[in-house]
A and B are shown apart, each in its own frame.
Chain A
Amino acid sequence: MKGGAVTTTSVPLDDATLVSRARDGDVRAYEQLVLRYQGLMFRLALKMLHHRGDAEDVVQEVFLSVWRKLGQLHDDHAFVGWLYRSTTNRCLNVIRARKPQADVDLELAESPRRDAQPEHAAQVSGQLEALNSALQTLTPQQRACWLLREVHGRSYDEIGEIVGANPTAVRGRIARARAQLAEVMKAWR
């Protein structure tokens, strides 16, 4: 790059810098963060809730509430973990609210949502369809742990912090999820 003033940033900034700027009120920096992570959060919410409208609501609320509380974030590198925690918790709350009874145990499988908005407008393969359905047979906690591990690549420690459980419990939920999903997938084949 030749000498002279740089008027535009063409080099993408790292997350921590964007978070720091956003915390100081830089809306454009926050927009970059939303662009980077809305897809991941939406995919997580969509697989958790099996309903597009609910997933959209959750993601909107996550990014708005995180913006509001940005001043409370002390470690700029903890931003993404915070997004995951917020998204996962809201999804679990939505699932909890769907149940008719007051007493809800997220360790038990849930009743399916009645007005299901199909996840996809387009056709998906039979195998993928089977997996999507199989995911709904898991308990919400199992589903969350499995998605965070297998699709989002988070470590056991990270998942523990996201769902509020120790890594051993996380490992157990993922193992159970795998076994359950494997059984369904094998039956499908």
Chain B
Amino acid sequence: MTSEYVIAAPVVAGVAARAAAGTAGVVRLEPGLRGLAAALVRAARDRWTGLAAAPAEGVRVRTADGKLTVEVDVVVSGIDQAAAVGQAVQRSVRREVAAQTGRTVDAVQVSIVDIEMEAR
């Protein structure tokens, strides 16, 4: 069962990235931190099987204790309330991953790293 997680993670990440980017109010995903995954995997004491499946897209997929978590970093526009857009991203990621891969995402962690207001 563990091997199933490892193979599917990049697919989940790809679906999640597309779902997040396509959510109304999201300007773009933020490219992730290269090497962070390596640093996480290296720490033996870490119980997470860290797998930065799509770090270049700003998405990280983690599995731990049978739970599947998706982390996504986004930039949103100032038109809609940031909190509302964030919640919309959570919902759309969960929905699309279930619809396209059959996998259940237990948690979607959204980080809004920047907000772009329209130019004055």
Contacts and interface: CB of A to CB of B under 8 A. Distances in A.
Nearest to A56: B42
Interface of B: 39, 42
The number of chain A residues touching the other chain, given as a range, is: under 10
Interface string A35-62: 0000000000000000000000100100
3 contacts: A57-B42, A60-B39, A60-B42
Query: Main SS of the interface on chain B?
Result: helix
A60 B39 CA distance: 9
A30 to B, nearest CB: 15
Contacts of B39: 60
A114 B18 CA distance: 47
A60 B42 CA distance: 11
Contacts of A60: 39, 42
B49 to A, nearest CB: 19
A57 B43 CA distance: 8
Contacts of A57: 42
A104 to B, nearest CB: 20
A57 B44 CA distance: 10
A6 to B, nearest CB: 28
